[in-house]
Amino acid sequence: MVDFHYQQAITAGGMGSKAALDADEYLEAAGVEAAEAAEASAEADD
């Protein structure tokens, strides 16, 4: 038995986690520390 409502929520959560890991890997490859990226993002929100 499959509950499609919850399946969609779990799939979306998994895709978000995958995107976050891919972004972290990209930033590390680009030589940017996660703290610097978070600081830049926080400054952009102001």
pLDDT for 17 equals 95
pLDDT for 12 equals 93
pLDDT for 20 equals 94
List, for residues 7-27, the tens digit of each pLDDT value. 999 999 999 999 999 998 988
35/41 Cα distance (integer angstroms): 10
Is the pLDDT at 1 greater than 60? The verdict is: no
Question: What residue spans define the domains of the chain?
Answer: 4-45
In contact, 33 and 24? CB cutoff 8 Å: no
Q: How confident is the model at residue 33 (pLDDT cuts 50, 70, 90)?
A: low
In contact, 26 and 16? CB cutoff 8 Å: no
Q: Classify each residue of 17-46 as buried b or exposed e, where b means 16 or more C-beta atoms within 10 Å of its C-beta.
A: eeeeeeeeeeeeeeeeeeeeeeeeeeeeee
Rounded mean pLDDT, 19-39: 81
